[in-house]
Amino acid sequence: MKKYLAAFVLFAFAVSFALLYGCGQSSDPGLTTTTSVTTTTIISSGVVMEGKMTTGIGVASALMKQMRAMGWPPGTNPTNPNYPMVLTTPESYAVGIWRARLFKGLSDTTPYLMASWEAAGGTPQHFDLSSSPTQMAVNASYPDAGTYTHMIPTLAYLEQQLPASLIDFNGITKFRVIMATYGTYQRGEVLVYSGGAWKWINDNTGSPESSKPASPVMVDWGDEATVEVNGHIVFEPQDVSMEGFTIPSSPSGVYTLTMVFDVAGTFAFNDLNENGTFEPSAEYPAGDHETAGMRSASGEAVWSTGPPGLSMTATNET
């Protein structure tokens, strides 16, 4: 029976980005990824977009609620002999997007286009995040006057790298969840960075493969906020946590939009030998845990990647 990764139906996240100066693009996510290089651009008027990751706001508790609803363990008590579970926090995070827009409500038909790279279906722009704010975009044009309540991106993938000390999976520490249909990719596919390239995971063998297998490992975060753009099903999260801010009829100074990604506890796995390390080929006896998301030669490991939580703040300096 075909197995899937456990589903985390949590949509408390969104991303927003803008025109990046001095940034390299990622190549096709099935092949390799170049590292983003950013430079800070100083402007006297307009809008600046920056982003950073944090690990301390509390997404882990929200993920726990979702997992309980799915039948995952009722707690993280490592002495539970049946379902000990570990929530793991990545040490770095990255995103791939096609565009970012600012809306005066969800019914707004003329949003402010913060940035547009390629049309959906082309190569998405890759951004690396850290705990320090990174300038992601600059737009010299102000939004039209009005109160803006939503920042919505057109999202291609989410990527996290786990601490090497907490994972023992054939040297693999980077996981990427595809959030749209484009090229040879389907929304929900989980890729791993192995041998210098992005690869699918064969759900029947647990092995990374350069060519898409008939049954790749997938994750299901539900069907919210999926729309069709240029013939591609894309993901556009609409519920980023933010307070509305108003652009006056004669704006001045620089508006800074800061997107904060809470990535605490966005990777979860059952830890049957209670050593706190993700080691799927060693921990799971054959036939155990029929809800497994990845199968290996020695058994099955129940694990999943979850979405980040996201908030945004807007400030103005004149």
- What pLDDT digit, counting tens, does each position of 123-158 carry? 998 989 988 888 888 999 999 999 999 998 888 999
Checking if the pLDDT of 173 tops 60, the result is yes
pLDDT at 309: 83
Q: What is the mean pLDDT of residues 216-242?
A: 80
> Residues 187-218: pLDDT tens digits?
999 999 999 999 998 887 778 999 999 989 88
* Confidence grade of residue 88 (pLDDT, cut at 50, 70, 90): confident
172 closest CA partner among 46, 312, 303: 303
CA distances from 148 to 32, 110, 164, 226 (A): 37, 12, 41, 22
* Confidence grade of residue 168 (pLDDT, cut at 50, 70, 90): confident
Distance CA 191, CA 167 (A): 16
Checking if the pLDDT of 242 tops 60, the result is yes
* Confidence grade of residue 16 (pLDDT, cut at 50, 70, 90): very low
pTM of the model: 0.79
pLDDT at 304: 80
Q: What is the mean pLDDT of residues 291-313?
A: 61
Percent of the chain at pLDDT > 70 equals: 69
Distance CA 100, CA 111 (A): 10
pLDDT at 64: 55
Judge whether 46 and 140 are in contact, CB under 8 Å. Answer: yes
Checking if the pLDDT of 5 tops 80, the result is no
* Confidence grade of residue 225 (pLDDT, cut at 50, 70, 90): low
Q: What is the mean pLDDT of residues 267-280?
A: 77
CA distances from 224 to 12, 102, 179, 230 (A): 11, 19, 12, 19
What is the DSSP track for the chain?
----PPP-----------PPSS-PPP--TTT--PPP-------SSEEEEEEEEES-S-HHHHHHHHHHHTT--SS--TT-SS--EEEE--SEEEEEEEEEEEESSTT-SS-EEEEE-S-TTSPPEEEEE-SS-EEEEEESSPPPSEEE-EEEEEEEEEEEE--GGGB-STT--EEEEE-S-BTTB-TTBEEEEETTEEEEEBTTT--EESSPPSSB-B----STTEEEETTEEEE-----EE--EEE-SS--SEEEEEEEEE-TT-EEEE-TT-SS-B-HHHH--TT--TT-SEEETTEEE-EEE-PPEEEEEEEEE-
Domain ranges of the chain: 46-74+84-317
* Confidence grade of residue 316 (pLDDT, cut at 50, 70, 90): very high
- How many Cα atoms occupy the beta-carbon half-sphere of 175 within 13 Å? 27
Checking if the pLDDT of 282 tops 70, the result is no
Q: What is the mean pLDDT of residues 99-103?
A: 90
